């Protein structure tokens, strides 16, 4: 069996499939593992993405999980490590992007790495160190209201500097525009100034492709998924449709959503407006001890045969804040995640084999509840969101699942995902 070339550590599960999607589309056979495997990799792959749920846990816990992933990836023989975080640089006030990067650099014995969440296909661009989401700065994009990681400062040099003991610098667009040699020169100059991490500007895929050759040989890269588009070429690999082939889809269809992001709110509203079968979960009823899971499953069981059902806790920022005020931010999040994950599990027990999950934290909880250990990555539905396929004791014959990041996907994503599955998925 060949050794994987690139070893990736993703800080959430939707982010992991987003990264795997970009690697697959650009020619790397990619396997995503749910958590750090206990056994060696048992299949041929050019890249392995270890999906952690470390974005919002305390920094020391995120470090421990990431170092465990690093050790496993090193044991598989990878040549380069990629730490994947969110394209909106989601982090708590204490971290975890800075602390985890510090720990990985120490463990790899490297004195320099880059940091860029740029993902132009999803309208995340970095210019002069400032992160834009769409046409607005990060802190005007809705991310300032995120339930767990509110982002109120768009200046990434400042955000990262507050999270690390290393000095943070900038490789700006004028350097990136001049390509590999200029970027390498700038890296050397920054190192000479004692800079350990540099935010890199990128406003287009061309910038990312120009950047990629200069990253060859760096032991550690830290980024959103965008940087991945240029990496397969560094290993002599080119795009191929075969890398995204999955088994044919079957079974009932459902959607669960615990994401409260702007895009998901619009997707839920669109699904309902189109006549979709949908049930809202009320966090206050969970907190008061009602059996919300059993109710949702009995509602869904009566409707699954008629088409996809949606079970959601998705709500607008004011409603989320009201719930958080009553229950506490962490408690509300954990309670809702647990409930949605149990609903997802019950749906699969009732024959759902095509499941859409919206929200990174929500996806983490669902994938764990479903007992999925490894996912193969299939065709892209929308930028950053592919269909995946995995096996578990609940679905030994396999289950198609897509893990949608909160702010990804067009408004009609939920219906589009199923349509795409039935019309365009290339069977393995
Ligand atoms: N109605 C609600 N009230 C309070 N908290 C909620 C509610 N609905 C969901 N949550 C919590 O909000 C958090 C949403 O985070 P999640 O990562 O799942 O979605 P997201 O942030 O939109 O997605 P991503 O991380 O991919 O951008 C979860 O912890 C979820 O349990
Ligand atoms: O990079 C992104 O925006 C996503 O892959 C993600 O990490 C959201 O959770």
Contact in structure between 124 and 207 (CB atoms under 8 Å): no
- pLDDT-based confidence at 241, cuts 50/70/90? confident
Average pLDDT over the chain, rounded to an integer: 95
For residue 332, the CA-to-ligand 1 centroid distance in Å is 9
Residue of 8, 14, 146 to test ligand 2 pocket, by largest number of atoms within 8 Å of CB? 14
Average pLDDT over residues 325-353: 96
Question: In sequence order, what are the beta bridge partners of 133?
Answer: 124, 136
Q: Is the peptide bond before 96 cis (omega within 30 degrees of 0)?
A: yes
Average pLDDT over residues 30-58: 94
For the CA of 10, the closest atom of ligand 2 is: 7
Average pLDDT over residues 133-156: 92
- pLDDT-based confidence at 299, cuts 50/70/90? very high
Average pLDDT over residues 285-297: 98
For the CA of 408, the closest atom of ligand 2 is: 3
Which pLDDT value is given to residue 244? Answer: 86
Residue 200 CB-half CA count within 13 A: 37
Question: In sequence order, what are the beta bridge partners of 167?
Answer: 195
Which pLDDT value is given to residue 93? Answer: 85
Lowest model confidence (mean pLDDT) among 55-59, 182-186, 410-414 = 55-59
Q: pLDDT for 8-23, tens place per residue?
A: 999 999 999 999 999 9
Residues framing ligand 1 (Cβ under 6 A): 12, 14, 146-148, 258-261, 264, 283, 313, 315, 320, 323-324, 332-333, 336-337, 359-362, 405-407
For residue 7, the CA-to-ligand 2 centroid distance in Å is 18
Average pLDDT over residues 247-269: 96
Distance CA 305, CA 144 (A): 40
Q: Say whether pLDDT at 423 is over 80.
A: no
Q: pLDDT for 165-212, tens place per residue?
A: 999 999 999 999 999 999 999 999 999 999 999 999 999 999 999 999
For residue 257, give the H/E element and its range: strand 252-257
Say which ligand is closest to the CA of 133: 2
Which pLDDT value is given to residue 390? Answer: 94
Q: Where are the domains of the chain?
A: 6-242, 245-423
User: 361 CB less than 6 Å from ligand 2?
Assistant: no
CATH architecture assigned to 245-423:
3-Layer(aba) Sandwich (3.40)
Q: Say whether pLDDT at 80 is over 80.
A: yes
Say which ligand is closest to the CA of 337: 1
Which pLDDT value is given to residue 424? Answer: 58
- pLDDT-based confidence at 277, cuts 50/70/90? very high
The two domains 6-242 and 245-423 share their CATH topology (first three levels equal): no
The angle at the Cα of 311, spanning 306 to 312, to the nearest 5 degrees, equals: 150
Which pLDDT value is given to residue 421? Answer: 85
Place of tokens 């007992």: 371
ipTM surpassing 0.90, yes or no?
A: yes
Which pLDDT value is given to residue 242? Answer: 83
DSSP sequence for 173-203:
HHHHHT-HHHHHHHHHHHHHTTEEEEEE-BS
Which pLDDT value is given to residue 425? Answer: 53
In a 3-state reduction of DSSP, which class is residue 283?
Answer: helix
Protein residue with its CA nearest to atom 8 in ligand 2: 405
Place of tokens 């507050």: 162
State pTM to two decimals: 0.90
Please tell me what DSSP assigns to residue 53.
-
Q: Which fold has domain 6-242?
A: Rossmann fold (3.40.50)
Q: Say whether pLDDT at 44 is over 80.
A: yes
């Amino acid at each position: 069996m060949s050794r994987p070339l690139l070893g990736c550590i993703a800080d959430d599960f939707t982010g992991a499939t987003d990264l795997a999607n970009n690697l697959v589309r650009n020619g790397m056979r990619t396997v995503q593992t749910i958590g750090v495997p206990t056994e060696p990799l048992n299949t041929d792959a050019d890249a392995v993405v270890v999906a952690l749920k470390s974005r919002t846990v305390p920094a020391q816990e995120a470090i421990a999980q990431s170092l465990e992933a690093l050790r496993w990836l090193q044991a598989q023989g990878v040549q380069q490590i990629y730490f994947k975080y969110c394209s909106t640089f989601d982090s708590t006030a204490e971290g975890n992007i800075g602390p985890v990067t510090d720990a990985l650099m120490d463990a790899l014995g490297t004195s320099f790495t880059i940091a860029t969440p740029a993902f132009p296909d999803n309208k995340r661009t970095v210019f002069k160190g400032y992160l834009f989401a769409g046409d607005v700065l990060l802190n005007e994009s809705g991310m300032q209201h995120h339930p767990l990681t509110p982002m109120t400062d768009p200046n990434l040099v400042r955000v990262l500097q507050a999270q690390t003991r290393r000095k943070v610098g900038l490789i700006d667009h004028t350097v990136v525009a001049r390509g590999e040699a200029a970027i390498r020169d700038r890296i050397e100059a920054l190192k000479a100034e004692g800079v350990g991490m540099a935010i890199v500007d990128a406003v287009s895929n061309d910038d990312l492709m120009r950047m990629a050759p200069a990253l060859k040989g760096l032991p550690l890269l830290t980024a959103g998924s965008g940087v991945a588009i240029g990496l397969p070429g560094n290993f002599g690999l080119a795009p191929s449709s075969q890398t995204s082939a999955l088994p044919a889809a079957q079974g009932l269809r459902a959607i669960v959503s615990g994401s409260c992001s702007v895009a998901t709110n619009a997707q839920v509203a669109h699904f309902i407006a189109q006549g979709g079968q949908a049930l809202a979960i009320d966090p206050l009823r969970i907190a008061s001890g009602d059996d919300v899971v059993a109710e949702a499953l009995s509602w869904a069981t009566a409707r699954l045969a008629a088409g996809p059902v949606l079970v959601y806790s998705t709500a607008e920022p004011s409603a989320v804040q009201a719930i958080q005020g009553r229950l506490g931010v962490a408690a509300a999040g954990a309670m809702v995640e647990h409930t949605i994950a149990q609903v997802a599990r019950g749906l699969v027990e009732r024959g759902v084999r095509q499941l859409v999950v919206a929200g990174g934290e929500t996806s983490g909880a669902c994938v764990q509840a479903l007992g999925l250990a490894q996912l193969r990555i299939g065709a892209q539905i929308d930028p950053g969101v592919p269909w995946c396929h995995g096996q578990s004791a609940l679905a030994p014959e396999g289950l198609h699942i897509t893990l949608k990041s909160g702010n990804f996907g067009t408004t009609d994503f939920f219906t589009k995902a199923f349509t795409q599955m039935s019309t365009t998925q290339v069977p393995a």
